[in-house]
Amino acid sequence: MAKLIPAAERVIRARALIQQAHDFPIPVEMGRKDFSYIANVKDLLRQAKDMVKFISMTPTATAEMKQEVKNIYQEVEDAEREILYSS
């Protein structure tokens, strides 16, 4: 059986995944248009969203934790725009 990860740890791990997406090396040949680069970055950002997806639905989630989840979702959207669609 899988070990349960506390909500605070999930938020920390989600932010680490977002940072990994920022730090992912851009390929030299095609740059940000490389399909494997795009897929890897989107996968990291998806994992970050999945890490916190159900926190706000738990009965023990505080208002602060729910706000943190909203912040993570916003950070993921901002990171995707910044990493993939900026020049």
Reading the chain (87 residues) residue by residue, the pLDDT tens digits are 667 888 999 999 999 999 999 999 999 998 889 999 999 999 999 999 999 999 999 888 899 999 999 999 999 999 999 999 886
What pLDDT sits at residue 2?
65
Q: Quick check: is 2 in a domain?
A: no
Nearest C-alpha neighbor of 52 from the set 1, 2, 16: 16
pLDDT number for residue 1: 64
Helices then strands, counting H and E runs in the chain, come out as: 3, 0
Give the residue numbers spanning the domain of 14: 7-85
Look at residue 16 and tell me if it is in a domain: yes
Q: Is residue 1 part of a domain?
A: no
26 inside domain:
yes
pTM (global) more than 0.85? yes
Q: What is the pLDDT of residue 14?
A: 97
